[in-house]
Amino acid sequence: MMEPCRIVLTGGPGSGKSTLLAELQRMGERCVAETGRAIIQEQMRSGGSALPWSDRSGFALAMLARETANFHHVTGSSRLWFDRGIPDVLGYLRLEGLPVPPEVTEAARAHRYHHQVFVCPPWPEIYAQDRERRQSLEIATRTHAEMVRTYGELGYTLIEVPRLPVAARAAFLLDRLMDADPEDQPGW
């Protein structure tokens, strides 16, 4: 059985990733929602402490566990879009100036996604804070830069997603993905 094609959409918070994945899902693509936001919501509901504003290391390890499970949960030869991937955990720890446990680096190197990683740049016109997204636009911009650095160091080809209406952004992703060389990636 062929490995599924796992495609990552990354960047800073509030850059339109979730909206873009919702559009892809509407178009019939299979998508995995951002784990960080889900963990924050769960921790807030349960009174847990694995939150980016109270236990950043615990939050990162919870994200690693969830991202790894999501990576392995996929079956079949179809493609699947991820709102962030395992390397985002590595980038988050670096951004926060926290020690990077060896298992995080190992997981980021061992669990390989499609060689093209789509990066949503900071987009001040749409950026908004909310109950779970408390970072400033400045922190969101720094997050973007760290994700670009992290994925680049891991050997991924980074493709910046243009700031366009959501349908045009989704079409851009699909067009660029179709231009990729199938020989370059397991699962194709």
pLDDT tens-digit readout, 62-85: 999 999 999 988 766 588 999 999
pLDDT in tens, 88-105: 999 999 999 999 999 999
Q: What does the alpha-carbon distance between residue 131 and residue 166 come to, in Å, rounded to a whole number?
A: 24
Instruction: State the Cα angle at 160 between 109 and 156, rounded to 5°.
Output: 20
Domains with residue ranges and CATH for the chain = 5-180 (3.40.50.300)
Q: Which of 53-57, 62-66, 116-120 has the lowest mean pLDDT?
A: 53-57
**Rounded to the nearest 10 degrees, what angle do helices 102-110 and 86-95 cross at?**
140
pLDDT over 90 at 41, yes or no: no
Question: Would you put residue 6 in left (φ > 0), alpha (ψ -120 to 50) or beta?
Answer: beta
This prediction's pTM: 0.88
Location of structure tokens 């970072």: 135
The mean pLDDT of the chain is 88
Share of the chain above pLDDT 90, in %: 62
pLDDT of residue 125: 78
pLDDT of residue 24: 96
| Distant-in-sequence, close-in-space partners of 65: CB < 8 Å, separation ≥ 6 | none
pLDDT in tens, 143-187: 999 999 999 999 999 999 999 999 999 999 999 987 765 444 443
For residue 129, name the pLDDT band (cuts at 50, 70, 90): low
pLDDT of residue 188: 32
User: What does residue 115 show for φ and ψ, rounded to 5 degrees?
Assistant: -65, -25
What is the pLDDT averaged over residues 109-121?
95
